[in-house]
Each structure stands twice: as structure tokens, then as C-alpha cells.
Amino acid sequence: MAPTDITKPAPPQHIAIIMDGNGRWAKKRGLPRTAGHAAGAESFRRIANYCRTLGVRYLTVYAFSTENWKRSSEEVAGIMKLLRRYLEEALQDMEKNRVCFRFFGDLSKLSPDLQKLCHDAEKRSEDYDVQVNFCLNYGGRDEIVQAARRFAEDVAAGKHNPEDLTEDLLSGYLYSADVPDPELIIRPSGEKRTSNFLLWQSAYSEYVFMNVLWPDFSPSDLDEAIEEYHRRNRRFGGT
Ligand code: FPP
């Protein structure tokens, strides 16, 4: 969809977000952490819709990391339940919402029903307005290891020689193959770390760190992050 306001510069075509601060949001209200994740899922819905109206083509979100399994089984089950519910709804409303899906991460560790929902969503994904890339059981280092392993397998099978390996070729083995790198990565909640998110793809991304907790993150916060991005002078290592 075209940007609605022609007086504004075009938004980045790919925005990535570390949806952080759900636990603190819940704690401040005396609620269980799962209530924070539920509010985080609502925030995600709002922001995905807003990205569509802005004309953002790709939205990548960190929904569950390879390290998040260390959380209590109750919290992990709560996050998985929210994802299941969201994907069930999204599968019904795909044509209306014009959102399609990709999943970055090792899905084999997820429950069989959630794996099926992910595969169904990916299979039905046409070229809609916005592509949401859900990072699920995702880690940036793990992604690079998996890619290197698959390249090594192709070498062993005689499909490639070791010297064929270039940045472009390796990119094609990543979960994000064919997706352009994000121009803008947003981390709300006041933390200033990359936390193993899109390590390869973020080589030239602009990071915007914000103090708002993810469940409170609003369309105007996204506008603010995009304005900050436009103020930066992206040089890609040049002068
Ligand atoms: C980080 O905040 C958040 C997560 C590990 C989970 C993110 C999951 C969701 C927003 C729900 C997923 C569902 C959909 C439909 C998108 P934190 O828990 O680490 O917060 P804290 O640092 O304040 O404790």
C-alpha cells in the first residue's frame, strides 16, 4: 500500500523490532508476566496494522529467542498460546488484512500444532502488502551456524566448492534469504543491546532505542523512530 501522507519521506521498507518490556509492564501493574505478553501481542497487532497503512513492506519481530526456553514453563506456554491464537486468527483474516508470514528460527522445537500453523501460514502467504517475519526459537548466531552447516552439506554433496562462498551466497542460506536487510531496528524498554537479533542482517541497520515498554508502544512511537531514522546520515562505510 502506498504511504498515505505524501508530505512525509517514504518509510524504511523493512523495520525490525525487539518487542521488549512485557514483563516490566506487567510487574508495574501487579500482574503476572503472561498478562504483559498478552498486552505485547495487542501492541504487535496495532503496530503491524500501522506498518501496513504507512507502506512498510517487511516487519520482523523477535517473538521468542533460543534463550527464552530458560523462562518458567508457565511463561513459555503463555507465549506459545498467544502465538497460536494470533496465527489462527491471522489465517482466517489473511485476505482482509493483506498480511503474509515468514518464520525465522528452528521451528522443530515448537509443538506440532504450532509448527503446523506456521507452515500453513507460510504456504498460504501470497504477495500481500506487508510481510511479517516472526522470529521464533530464533538466535542470530544459531542462524549463521545453521547456514554454515547447510553450505558445508552442499560442499560435501558436490554442489559447491568452498571457494564459492561469498556474502551473497551465505545470505541465501539464512532464514532471511530473499528478504532485504532491515534499514531500521527498534528496541523499546530502555535496554541497549542487540540480544542475538539479526546479527548478520543488521550490519548497516540504524538502531533506535526507546524508553517506552513494548505493550505501551504506539503508532506515534513508531513515527518518532522513523523520524529519527530519517535524521541519520546513512553512509554504508563511505564518506
Ligand atoms: C521480551 O519482553 C518479550 C518476549 C520474550 C516475548 C515477546 C512475545 C510477545 C510480544 C507475544 C507474542 C505474540 C504475538 C502474537 C506477537 P520481556 O518478557 O523480556 O520483558 P522484561 O524485560 O520487561 O522482563
> What is the phi/psi pair of residue 19, to 5°?
-80, 80
Percentage of residues of the chain with pLDDT beyond 70: 95
In a domain, 194, yes or no: yes
The range of the structural domain enclosing residue 120 comes to 14-230
Amino acid identity for residue 199 in this structure? L
Contact predicate 17/61, CB 8 Å: yes
Domain assignment of residue 19, yes or no: yes
List of long-range contacts for 235-239, beta carbons under 8 Å, 24+ apart: 236/204, 237/204
Q: What CATH number is attached to the domain comprising 183?
A: 3.40.1180.10
| 4: pLDDT strictly greater than 70 | no
Q: Distance (Å, rounded) from C-alpha 183 to C-alpha 234? A: 9
pLDDT value for 127 = 75
pLDDT tens digits, residue range 85-108? 999 999 998 888 889 999 999 999
The DSSP element (H or E) to which 85 belongs, if any, is helix 73-92
Q: Is 22 a catalytic residue?
A: no
Using CA positions, which residue lies closest to atom 1 of ligand 1? 20
Fill in the amino acid letter for 86: Y
Check pocket membership of 187 for ligand 1, CB cut-off 6 A: no
The residue whose C-alpha atom lies closest to atom 16 belonging to ligand 1 is 41
Pick the catalytic residue: 49, 68, 106, 129? 68
Answer whether residue 5 shows pLDDT above 70. no
Ligand 1 touching residue 217 (CB < 6 A): no
188 CA from centroid of ligand 1 (Å): 11
pLDDT at 6: 63
Please pick, among 20, 97, 137, 221, the residue that the annotation labels catalytic: 20
Instruction: Please give the pLDDT value at position 221.
Output: 98
Per residue in 30-64, pLDDT (tens digit) is: 999 999 999 999 999 999 999 999 999 999 999 99
138 in any annotated domain: yes
Flag whether 2 is in a domain: no
pLDDT of 226 > 80? The answer is yes
List the Cα angle 178/182/184 in 5-degree steps. 170
**How many structural domains are present in the chain?**
1
Average pLDDT over residues 109-130: 92
Could you tell me if residue 165 is inside a domain?
yes
| Out of 91-95, 99-103, 185-189, 208-212, least confident range | 91-95
Kindly state if the Cβ of 215 falls inside 6 Å of ligand 1: no
Task: Answer whether residue 9 is part of any domain.
Answer: no
Q: What percent of the chain has pLDDT over 90?
A: 87
Q: Specify the pLDDT at position 53.
A: 94
pLDDT, mean over the chain: 94
Sign for the pseudo-dihedral over CA of 146, 152, 157, 161: positive
Backbone angles phi, psi at 130, to 5 degrees: -120, 135
Find the 19 Cα to ligand 1 centroid distance in Å.
6
Q: Is 120 a catalytic residue?
A: no
Report the C-alpha gap between 136 and 126 in whole angstroms. 21
Q: What per-residue confidence (pLDDT) applies to 237?
A: 75
Asked if 59 contacts 133 with a C-beta cutoff of 8 angstroms, the reply is: yes
For residue 238, name the pLDDT band (cuts at 50, 70, 90): confident
For ligand 1, whether the C-beta of 21 sits within 6 Å is yes
Half-sphere exposure at residue 198, Cβ-oriented, CA atoms within 13 angstroms: 32
Closest CA to 18 of 185, 178, 170, 175: 185
Structural domain includes residue 1:
no
- What CA–CA distance (Å, rounded) separates 119 from 108? 11
